[in-house]
Amino acid sequence: MKKKTSKKLEGEGSYEGTRGYNAGLAEHMRKADVGALADDASKALEGKEGKELRKAEKIAKKGPQALRTHR
C-alpha cells in the first residue's frame, strides 16, 4: 500500500511564514542597534534622497494597489 504524504498548501498569510518573519524580526531587534538605524533613516530623509523616500512612503501608505501602479 502506498504511504500517504501530506501536502500542506499555504498561500499568502501562512502561519509558518508569519512565524518565520516574527522570529527574524525579534532576532534583528535583539542584535541590531535600532537607535543608530533610526538616526541613519532620519539623516537619509534630510539628505539628497529625502524627496524620493517621502514619495515612496506616501505611495506605500496607500497600500498594495498603489504600488502596482507606480512600477
Task: Please give the share of the chain, as a percent, with pLDDT higher than 90.
Answer: 62
Residue 45's closest CA among 59, 55, 35, 32? 55
Indicate the Cα dihedral angle 26, 42, 60, 12, nearest 10°: -10
- Which residue ranges make up each domain of the chain? 15-69
Q: What CA–CA distance (Å, rounded) separates 47 from 24?
A: 30
User: Can you give the pTM of this predicted structure?
Assistant: 0.54
The answer to whether the beta carbons of residues 19 and 25 sit under 8 Å apart is no
pLDDT tens-digit series, residues 8-37: 667 777 889 899 999 999 999 999 999 999
